[in-house]
Structure 1
Amino acid sequence: MKPGPARRAALATLAAGAAALSAGCAEYGNGGGGSASGSPAGTGGTPEGGGTDRRPGGGPGEELVRTGDVPVGGGTVLGEPRVVVTQPEPGVFRAFSAVCTHQGCAVGSVADGTIRCPCHGSRFRITDGSVAHGPARRPLPPLRVEVAGNSVLRA
């Protein structure tokens, strides 16, 4: 007896569900939950190396934030261009992608020396973007910045 259309449809649905579950468990930028480059998916533009994702922060010279808007020992999360700028010590500015490497959520805040993701509790150090608390296992990708006057610019 041949399998009927209803059985084939049920098997196809089951296979699709299993694929979605396994992709949901993958780390962002590592085979599931986002683009392979680790860039936020679907934001337009073209990163170095091709593809359709836009690198966070735009082009060189773009002002990301005013220096006075970034607290010493803390940071500021910028919704667009999906960047977090930190000031670990007076006059030292760092920038990272604001996309959590666990499953691609946007980080939500900076407190107690860490960048925090509200989705699953990952925390990253403001000094270098390294993982302070999982479930994320990879650091936030750094972005090059420079200070010009009272502005933190994309380098």
Structure 2
Amino acid sequence: MLLCGLAAVVSACGEPAPRKTGGTGTARPGDRVTAASAVPVNGGVLVDLPGNAQLLVVQPRPGEFRAFNPSCPHVGSLVNPPAGGVITCPLHGSTFDPASGAVRKGPAASGLAEVAITLSGEDLVLA
């Protein structure tokens, strides 16, 4: 009887949530990414998009917004938003420039892929 109850509890939990991936997922040009006010100057935020995807949106200088696919080019782990003037991959320590996405320190051999965004009113949208 205890095993039946345990099986019911385990099956009620369902499947684990799918792992987020970098990129635009199923979002299309013109879709809202986030409010510009949500992105701190000299910082950034990871933004969830449809299709279980995420973008890293940064504001390296006041009024300048950029978005990057947050998948590290080394092995695909998602990078952290900028801290202390650098974007860091928590898996192997690669670092990237928040203004350009360029690799500063490996093991990544290339920078983060930029995703075009534009300011539309008070929102950032996919270009």
The answer to whether the superposition gives a TM-score over 0.5 is yes
Give 5+ residue unaligned stretches, structure 1.
1-42, 44-53
Which of the residues 38, 51, 65 maps onto 1:93?
Answer: 65
Question: Structure 1 pair 75/55, CA: closer, same or farther in 2 (3 Å)?
Answer: closer
TM-score of the aligned structures, taking structure 1 as reference length? 0.62
Partner of 2:92: 120
Give 5+ residue unaligned stretches, structure 2.
1-20
After the TM superposition, which parts of structure 1 deviate over 3 Å for at least 4 consecutive aligned residues? none
Q: Report Cα offsets for 1:96-150 as digits up to 9, x if no partner.
A: 1010001000112321222211111111111110011211110100110000111
Which of the residues 115, 119, 123 maps onto 1:143?
Answer: 115
Identity score, percent? 38
Which structure has more RCO (C-alpha within 8 Å, separation ≥ 6)?
2
TM-score of the aligned structures, taking structure 2 as reference length? 0.74
From the two aligned structures, give the one with the greater strand fraction: 2
* Alpha-carbon separation, structure 1, partners of 2:76 and 2:66: 20
Structural RMSD (CA): 2.0
* Alpha-carbon separation, structure 2, partners of 1:73 and 1:95: 13
1:1-155 to 2 correspondences below 5 Å: 55-56=23-24, 58-80=27-49, 81-155=53-127
Of 70-79 and 140-149, the range deviating more from structure 2 = 70-79
Question: Structure 1 pair 82/148, CA: closer, same or farther in 2 (3 Å)?
Answer: same
Residue 69 of structure 1 aligns to which amino acid in structure 2?
Answer: A
**Number of residue pairs matched by the alignment:** 104
* Alpha-carbon separation, structure 2, partners of 1:133 and 1:66: 31
